[in-house]
Amino acid sequence: MDGIVMRWFLAVLLCWVSVLSAEKAQAGAWPRDKGQFFVALSADQLRSQIYAEYGFGKDWTLGNEVSMPQGRRLPDVSQFIQHPVWRGKGGAILSAGVAAELRETTAATAFPALKGVSEIAVRAGLFWGKGFESRFGNGWATVDAQVEHIVTTDWLGQGLAYKLDMGMGVQPTERLKLMAQAQYWRRGTAQTMRLEASAALALGPTQVVVSPSIGVIGAKSPRVKLGLWVEF
């Protein structure tokens, strides 16, 4: 019970740190404007999530995510920070970021005795983005590449994990956004890849998002994620 309370306390604390340290689209390559706050709530058949970003100023973006996998008692909690490192002609941008995550060990399936044991992982990534114009409206393309290392269970010899996301979106009307994304993850010989499509409909300051997806490597079961995005 103490472990559950401590993990939820840490989740709430990290979210409040994002807001209080500032005196009061989810992260891609583009930074949040100073004082701009973004919150996304989402859930599918496997997990529910609370995601938040804050524009800290001088192109720094700070973010948190609290994720609750199905059938688990404890949430996964992560915090990241990122900043642009290059801006090219035509609006292209490249950002770099680092993140830390506290979660239940990913080795639990191979080592059942470790189920419920916490681990800390660190990630580093590069995030590229570019806007464009199309016959369907203004659009954007993104590529996110990240590498992860577990710092608390090295003795298990799990090695590095790699994640690559590639996405594209268009905005055919003022209220509608259409997006598609390929998500790939690999650690050792274990790998997964999913294809996801999303439609976001703006209702005032809130966007309602529906995202069906299907696996092409690893678990292939289809899923549907429902979300709410708020920006202020």
Model pLDDT, residue 71: 84
pLDDT value at 73 more than 50: yes
Q: How confident is the model at residue 109 (pLDDT cuts 50, 70, 90)?
A: low
As for how many domains the chain has, the answer is 1
Model pLDDT, residue 114: 67
Q: What is the pLDDT of residues 163-194, one digit of tens each?
A: 999 999 999 999 999 999 999 999 988 999 99
Domain span at residue 65 reads 2-231
Per the DSSP assignment, residues forming a β-bridge with 106 are none
**Residue 161's domain is classified under what CATH number?**
2.40.160.40
Closest CA to 120 of 74, 78, 162: 78
DSSP classification of residue 91: G
Model pLDDT, residue 89: 83
pLDDT value at 69 more than 70: yes
pTM: 0.84
Q: Which of 21-25, 50-54, 71-75, 93-97 has the lowest mean pLDDT?
A: 21-25
